[in-house]
Chains A and B, each alone.
Chain A
Amino acid sequence: MSEHKGSMNRVYGWLLLLPAMVFLTAFTYYPMVSTFFVSLFSDGTATRPSVFVGLENYQFLLEDDIFWKVLVNNLWYAAGTIPTSIAIALMMAIWVNNRLPARGLVRMAYFTPTVLPMIAVANIWLFFYTPEIGLFDQIGSVFGFPSQNWLGDPELVLGSIIVMTVWKEAGFFMIFYLAALQSLSPELEEAAHLEGASRWYIFRRITFPLLMPTTLFVTINAVINSVKMVDHLFILTKGGPDNASSLLLYYIFEVAFSFLDEAYASALTVVLLVVLAIVAVGQFTLMDKRIHYR
């Protein structure tokens, strides 16, 4: 009888898992496996059928200057966007968590960039960055700064895009921090006050450690976004000038849909997947140790 019950439980278990499993398999695992297979073949056309080439696509990848360039760009982009947007989000959250006049309005103002679609944001910022007639150049000219070709100068373009991304993302992360701050119990802070701790000490030793689970969540999101968000490139720079602002995913799109080279695009995708998997594992194992879960 109990054996029967156990096997029934197992069936229930599998049945409960089934819907998620079907969808994950169909839309995540199968595409991953098939991407890997496609990456082992040459790109086929009607006149030149696809053949097995082993690791040739990966070989080409090692020699592909543009790949290395977009990879390095992506690292700078991640390094530029992740810490900055998290720090700004935290500051904004602490700021709007205080009792301010018109607090709702300030919170909404900070959150607005998040609500806008990336394409719309990029179209607005395209005109901010335009030399001579753009917002930044017009503000700069008041203070006597010379006009800058923000998106047309390889030295400036990636930085310009990082600034826009931080502006777009910080408000989103702020919401998570704000929610976390409001769930902290005020007793700890009051007790620390009684002990005569400074505000900075309270933040450093009490508030920030208690926010660590949120920080982990936000960091993972920021990392994912730094490889996932490329919409703005279509509007702002198309990866130019000379690939100075191109990112890995944008390059994959170009290879797949502009060059129609499915095989090489698959190889690039596999590399992206591996990198992301390593980052995710690293994040969980390293940061988990330092996180205090209640």
Chain B
Amino acid sequence: MLKHLSKTFKRTVLATAMVLGPVTLASAQQVELTMYYPVAVGGALTKIVDGLVDGFSKENPGIKVNAIYAGNYNDARIKALAALKSGKPAQLSVMFSIDIYELIEQGAIVAFDDIVETDDEKAWLKKFYPALMENGITQNKTWGIPFQRSTIVMYYNKDAFRAAGLDAEKPPATWDELVSAGKKLTKADGSQWGMMIPSTGYPYWMFGALTKQNGQTLMNGSGNKTFFDKPATIEALQFWKDLGSKEGVMPKGTIEWGTLRQNFLDQKTAIMWHSTGNLTKVKSSAKFDFGVAMLPAKKSRGTPTGGGNFYIFDKTTPAERKAALKLIRYMTSPERTAEWSIKTGYIGTRPDAYETDALKKYVVEFPPAAVARDQLEFATAELSTYQTGRVRKLLDDAIQAALTGSKSPEEALTSAQKQADRLLKKYR
């Protein structure tokens, strides 16, 4: 009987300790952080993130970090918002950079300006490439810190360039050069196309590059107005369509995002526009000499940025916020950024990362890694507005309607703009 009692007692104590554990420990300055992160491209990324978190834990024994892999970008956002509703939110998360307005509207995140205190911390906010900060700043506040970020680059087959009598070291730098090179590279028997720009999956992203090159952005900095029906936007879509229907250097209709890399590797297209995220895979699989170049220019060069930012959730205690900030600063320090960039192919998010020995050496060994960095100078924010899912789909549908010929570019974009205006009116 006594034994039984003591057993029950032990269990009760244990249970109480388990329930109260985090609380009592927290008062002893132990902070526990839960961080969600998505993986958009490859599986090995989870190991790299775990490695970074382990490194942080060793340096900061007072902070315990649970890094939870949360699927793709969409899954991560859904999980984070669901956790928020259930009252058991995470403290920080890596989420899609373009989710910012959604997260603000849901009251989910807190601005970094409200967390940083010291001059050192304030200065840290300015350490990143401005182009990468564009998707993280609105209402004059910084809500997202760039982490796993990419851009679009032009991959080209140097062997095919040589075979067509083109200079393999001088990839097309303008739209005109692109078309004329494309014509030389396109074989009449259909065995090789000049170029392919993918138009499924993320058409708006590719289109963001074309419009930026034509001197036009797709939306304002407050996320409540789109510029889909501007003449330069329509001109950019016309150019995209003409590559297939008029110039004949690209297949007509839409081009599948998922199989494009295979088309390039099988030499069915001499040029492809794709995410820098494909660099490692192309490098390991290409059986020919390939090059990576900046996207060409009409008025200027241009590409949208892409990828994930760090966010800190609103439902957090001051101690948790401080700890989260510490973690993010660790993960984005120049050394960690260099390590992350080399291992994953994502861009180093800050100039001083490229001053580290590791990244300096890597760029010399593998020059394509520098192309994405150099292109940042011409980069702009990825399409992101309030009601971003809907607005993005309006543009995606308009692009596909124009490319498949069911509507003219002007018709498609004017109607998309009209509908976007209706959605965004209440945010102005």
Interface residues in chain A, defined as those with a beta carbon under 8 Å from any beta carbon in chain B: 45-48, 66, 126-127, 130-134, 146-147, 149, 151-154, 235, 237-238, 240-244, 254, 257-261
Contact = CB atoms under 8 A, between A and B. Distances in A.
Contact of A242 (B256, B259, B404): B404
A260 B262 contact: no
Interface of B: 74, 78, 81, 102, 105-108, 190-191, 193, 199-201, 251-256, 258-259, 262-263, 266, 268, 387, 389-390, 393, 396-398, 400-401, 403-404, 406
Contact of B393 (A133, A258, A260): A258
B74 A240 contact: no
Contact of A126 (B102, B107, B258): B258
Contacts of B389: 254, 258-260
Given A47-B105, A133-B266, A241 B253 contact: yes
Nearest to B396: A240
A45 B398 CA distance: 28
A45 to B, nearest CB: 5
B228 to A, nearest CB: 15
Contacts of A237: 200
Contacts of B254: 149, 151-152, 240-241
Given A45-B105, A152-B251, A258-B393, 5 more contacts: A133-B263, A133-B268, A149-B254, A257-B74, A257-B78
A102 to B, nearest CB: 35
A257 to B, nearest CB: 6
B406 A242 contact: yes
A46 B404 contact: no
B340 to A, nearest CB: 28
A150 to B, nearest CB: 9
Contacts of A132: 190-191, 193, 251, 263, 266, 268
Given A237-B200, A258-B389, A46 B253 contact: no
A243 B397 contact: yes
Contacts of B106: 45-46
Given A45-B106, A257-B78, A260-B389, A242 B201 contact: no
Contact of A154 (B193, B256, B404): B404
A66 B389 CA distance: 15
B262 A153 contact: no
Interface of chain A, main secondary structure? loop
Contacts of B255: 149, 152
7 closest cross-chain pairs (CB), A and B: A46-B107, A152-B253, A152-B254, A241-B400, A149-B253, A258-B389, A259-B389
A149 B252 contact: yes
A153 B201 CA distance: 15
Nearest to A149: B253
A130 B256 contact: yes
A288 B190 CA distance: 55
Contacts of A66: 397
B387 to A, nearest CB: 7
Contacts of B268: 132-133
12 contacts: A46-B107, A130-B256, A134-B259, A151-B254, A152-B254, A152-B255, A153-B253, A242-B397, A242-B406, A257-B74, A258-B74, A259-B387
A127 B403 CA distance: 21
Given A257-B78, A258-B74, A260-B389, A152 B256 contact: yes
Nearest to A134: B259
Contacts of B398: 242
A147 B105 contact: no
A45 B81 CA distance: 11
Contact of B262 (A127, A241, A243): A127
Best-surrounded residue of B102, B108, B397 (most CB of chain A within 10 A): B397
Given A240-B200, A241-B404, A127 B259 contact: yes
A116 B200 CA distance: 25
Contacts of B396: 240
Nearest to A258: B389
B186 to A, nearest CB: 12
A169 B319 CA distance: 56
A241 B200 contact: yes
Given A147-B190, A242-B397, A258-B74, A130 B263 contact: yes
A34 to B, nearest CB: 15
B256 A151 contact: yes
B237 to A, nearest CB: 13
A131 B200 CA distance: 14
A242 B390 CA distance: 14
A132 B266 CA distance: 10
A260 B102 CA distance: 9
A238 B262 contact: no
A261 B135 CA distance: 23
A133 B262 contact: yes
Nearest to B394: A66
A66 B419 CA distance: 12
A72 B387 CA distance: 26
Contacts of A244: 404
Contacts of A127: 259, 262
Contacts of B191: 132
Given A47-B105, A152-B253, A241 B403 contact: yes
A244 B190 CA distance: 26
A99 B242 CA distance: 58
A133 B256 CA distance: 12
Given A240-B254, A241-B253, A241-B400, A152 B200 contact: yes
B200 A242 contact: no
